[in-house]
Amino acid sequence: MKFEANIPIYLQIIEEIKRRIIIGEYKPGGKLPPVRELALSFGVNPNTVQRAFGELERDGLVYSERTSGRFIADDPEKIRGLREAVLVRKTDAFLEDMSRYGYDEKSVLAYINSRKKV
Amino acid sequence: MNERIVIQGLTKTYKKNEALKDVDLTIPAGAIVGLLGPNGSGKTTLLKILTGLIRSYKGTVSIDGRPVGEETKKMISYLPDEPYFADWMRVKDALGIFQDMYEDFDKARCMDMISRFRIAEKARVRTLSKGTKEKFQLALVLSRRAPIVILDEPIGGVDPAAREVILDTILENYTKDQTLLIATHLIAELERIFDVAIFIREGRILLNKDVESLRMETGRSVDELFRERFRYE
């Protein structure tokens, strides 16, 4: 995975873990890979992954069991919320960007609809 | 994080040239620390003082509460910025030396890395390319289970593909409570593994800070910040 060097890496790791939860790669109630394993696969410092996990735990998206490791919250409602939040955030950002090029929502939507018919 | 290395009022003078000027610096345990500065900024001098290779200086330097000396030497695995094996040696001779010299040397681990780097045990050090020689020395240094690992320009002489391999190897061997101190000017390549960045210029510490906070507060990468601060050199 490539990281942007000007944005805190732990925030980017949080995003990536959320993405994996949203698409079901990490299942509700399922076990997360150990810190070390993820750190190696991301090519980052284990402390950075630890920090990302800490944030996810504070958000209640992840919990840890003292002896058996870390798990994804078994809370489909929460995960659905996560998924919707992404749709809203990314779409809003996209529309905002398009408006800088003079496209309003209507014309963007018109394009999306025309595109479907192709 | 607890403090592992504490430096107070450290000044080192070579003849008339001050290599380090009244340096105060604290380095925590359990962190990967980038020591970043241009050539001649005092990085190597600082590292040589920590490893006990340079013994005349002003100020105090302690590791886990003990002044730097014979006792602290054993705690540090050090990769110098120049080769330290005689050319006539074979790879296995160098391995033997490390095994004799260091109680904490894990030979199996070293052999594993050496085979991964495709270095033959029988090869003479002289016949290894510059990059392979660096990989070999890194394998030796990383195979010691020392609480402090100091790497002086670990990827300086290798091509970008080999850098990735070296970076992965460094991360694989890093254990939780170790202090890993890496001096480099190749910041963009290494910054994703740092916890802390220290900027050093003309023998003075300009910055000693958690890299994630640095990114958060400035919206810039460590590399970009470094370029800004050191632009006029």
Give the pLDDT confidence score for residue A117 in this predicted structure: 62
Domain count, chain B: 1
Nearest to A6 among B176, B194, B219 (CB): B219
Contact B188 A51 (CB under 8 A): no
- Which among B32, B163, B180, B193 is the top mutation candidate for probing chain A, defined by the most A β-carbons within 10 Å of its own β-carbon? B193
Give the pLDDT confidence score for residue B139 in this predicted structure: 94
Mean pLDDT of all residues in chain A?
94
Measure in Å the smallest separation between the Cα of A106 and chain B Cα atoms: 33
pLDDT tens-place string over residues B133-189: 889 999 999 999 999 999 999 988 788 888 888 899 999 999 989 999 999 988 999
Distance CA A91, CA B66 (A): 57
Helix axes A46-58, A9-22, angle to 10 degrees: 60
Give the pLDDT confidence score for residue B96 in this predicted structure: 94
SS3 of chain B: the string is CCEEEEEEEEEEEECCEEEEEEEEEEEECCEEEEEECCCCCCHHHHHHHHCCCCCCCEEEEEECCEECCHHHHCCEEEECCCCCCCCCCEHHHHHHHHHHHCCCECHHHHHHHHHHCCCCCCCEHHHCCHHHHHHHHHHHHHCECCCEEEEECCCCCCCHHHHHHHHHHHHHHCCCCCEEEEEECCHHHHHHHCCEEEEEECCEEEEEEEHHHHHHHHCCCHHHHHHHHCCCC
Distances, alpha carbon B85 to alpha carbons A104, B77, B125, B134, in Å: 68, 16, 7, 11
Distance CA B195, CA B176 (A): 12
Measure in Å the smallest separation between the Cα of A51 and chain B Cα atoms: 10
Q: Enter the tokens of residue B223.
A: 């590399």
Q: Indicate which CATH number applies to the domain containing B104.
A: 3.40.50.300
Nearest to A8 among B172, B174, B212 (CB): B212
Give the pLDDT confidence score for residue B1 in this predicted structure: 56
Where chain B has pLDDT below 50, the residues are none
- Domain range for B185 is 3-229
Contact A7 B220 (CB under 8 A): no
Q: What is the mean pLDDT of residues A76-96?
A: 95
pTM for the predicted model, two decimal places = 0.90
Contacts of B31 in chain A (CB under 8 A): 47
Nearest to B215 among A6, A40, A44 (CB): A6
Q: Is the pLDDT score of A118 beyond 60? A: no
CB contact B155 to A (< 8 Å): no
At residue A86 the predicted structure's pLDDT band, cuts being 50, 70 and 90, is: very high
Sign of CA dihedral B42, B46, B48, B49: positive
Nearest to B188 among A5, A40, A43 (CB): A5
Give the pLDDT confidence score for residue A24 in this predicted structure: 93
Strand B204-210 and strand B196-201: the pairing is antiparallel
Give the pLDDT confidence score for residue B41 in this predicted structure: 92
